[in-house]
Structures are given as C-alpha cells and as structure tokens.
Amino acid sequence: MLQVEHLSKSYDEANILADIGFSVRRGEFFGILGPNGSGKSTLLKMISGVEKMSSGQIRIDGKDLGDYSRKELSRSLAVLQQESLPSVNFTVKEVVEMGRYPYQNWLGEEKGDHEAIINSILNKLKLVELQDRSLQYLSGGERQRVALGKVMAQQPKLLLLDEPTTYLDIGYQIQIMDLVKAWQNEERLTVVAVLHDLNLASIYCDRLLMIHKGEAVCLGTPEEIMRSELIKQVYGTTPIVVEHPIHKLPQIMLQQGGTFGE
C-alpha cells in the first residue's frame, strides 16, 4: 500500500531525515516513534505531499506520490492531526460534510448519496445529538471526534495520524484509538500513526518504526521495539518493561531519575 525508499530531507545545510525506508501493507496499523525533533512529523508531511522530499521515493498503491493530482491524493489519503479543527462557527454536520470535497465538482455537487455516508458516520461516532452544535461549543475531545468524522467522510485508503491523542485525557485517547481501530478493521484501512505514547503504540500498532536523529534505528513488532536498552539509547531514560496482563504486549513504566549523569 505504501512504500518509502531512501527518503531524505534537509533544510539548508541541516539533515533532518536520512535514508528512511519502509513499506506498509494494506490494512496494517503502522506506528512511528521517536523523541522530540527526531523527524516524525516531517516524515508524515512528506507522505501526505505537504512537504517536498530532498531525495528518495514514496509510492502509494504502486503509484509515485508526485503523479497524484491534489484531489486524487485526497481520495487516497487523509490526515488527522493533534488539533485538527479550530474553534470556528460551523456545525458538527457541516464540518463532517467538508470531508466530501474530493468527491465534489467545482459547484460543490456530488454524484452519489453523500447524505447516507454522512449520517452513518455521525451515527458511528455518536455525533447525532451534537450534529447541529457549533464547533465553538465543543470540548477538545468532542472536536477531535468531529475531526475524525471529517477524515472518515473523505473515505481514504490510507490514514495518517500525527499525534492525534496528545491533548486528550485517557478516556478520549482510548476512544479515538478504538474508533480508528474499528474503522481499520471494517474497511481494511491502512493506518500510519506518529505516536508519542509508547504504551498506546504497543497495544494498537502491528509494527513500529523507531526514528532517532533523523535515522531509522529499528523496525519491528512491539515486542521487538519496546526493549529497555533500545528505549534508553533513543530517549536517554531507562524504563521498566512489563507485559500487559490482558493484551500480552510490552508496556513501559517510568522511573525517577536516570536521565543525567549516568
């Protein structure tokens, strides 16, 4: 579904990403991890076509990213960010409907029954009661659910998540991740997610790529990535790694001290 080969990016003289390569299968949930400033968002921006690569290749469904028109790309991929929606005076339903723009002509008209698609999304995301409410009067968690509704209306094959749960409490974090996971399973959606929370990444992602200082240091299953030595090497702090009692996947526990002077 997605192939990234020898991808590099530099701004002026500074190398931000060097020779990154990986491929993601259709229906896979792929996580990108790494400390602040390691280049995760830059990588995602290049995959979404917002940022130009310095060298390398990105292919989606076998087709070079550069060969997609803007509208065609919007039907193939969608991006959900940290705070995707500003607090503006549009209703919830209007915002979800905006996700249909790649399917509309220049008059904003669409051939198929877009009303049925929108209503099914509002139902699925439990937004029916909020549909006429202005975005201004929603909490951050509710707004992020509307943002998810908008990208669902886009009906992409590839969903890019850029730290979508950063400003959410634990309840909303799980809610957003569960909704994405359910969508992934139903539609065989491919998900590429930049996540800061290693524990969430471990329980939701099939495979993880760890980036450090612009280089890919490890690619593998959560069991292969969530190792205390690797986390220490990359993040400079040594966590305790334990097994999740239900999911049987690695989880980390932080401990005081241990970042400086070791």
Ligand X SMILES: Nc1ncnc2c1ncn2[C@@H]1O[C@H](COP(=O)(O)OP(=O)(O)OP(=O)(O)O)[C@@H](O)[C@H]1O
**Sole window of 32-40, 83-91, 115-123, 183-191 interacting with ligand X (rule: CB under 6 A):** 32-40
- Residue pair 8/15 in contact (Cβ under 8 Å)? The answer is yes
Residues 6 or more apart from 178 whose CB is under 8 A from it?
none
Residue 163: how many CA atoms within 13 Å on its side-chain side? Answer: 15
Q: Is 11 in the site for ligand X (CB under 6 A)?
A: yes
Q: Provide the 10 A C-beta neighbour count for residue 182.
A: 12
DSSP state of 103: G
Q: Is 236 in the site for ligand X (CB under 6 A)?
A: no
Please choose, out of 30-38, 150-158, 181-189, 240-248, the segment that lies near ligand X by the rule CB under 6 A: 30-38
Residue 24 burial by CB count (10 A; 0-12/13-18/19+): exposed, middle or buried? buried
| Residue 40 binds ligand X (CB under 6 A) | yes
In whole angstroms, the minimum distance from the beta carbon of 112 to ligand X comes to 37
DSSP-assigned letter for residue 147: H
Closer to ligand X by CB, 38 or 251: give it: 38
- State the nearest-atom distance from the C-beta of 232 to ligand X, in Å: 18
Q: Find the shortest distance in angstroms from Cβ 172 to ligand X.
A: 20
Which stretch in 34-42, 113-121, 150-158, 244-252 sits in contact with ligand X by CB under 6 A?
34-42
| Amino acid residing at 126 | K
How many CB atoms within 10 Å of residue 230?
Answer: 17
37, 66, 140, 236: which one binds ligand X (CB under 6 A): 37
The residues of the shown chain that bind ligand X, judged by CB under 6 A, are 11, 16, 34, 36-42
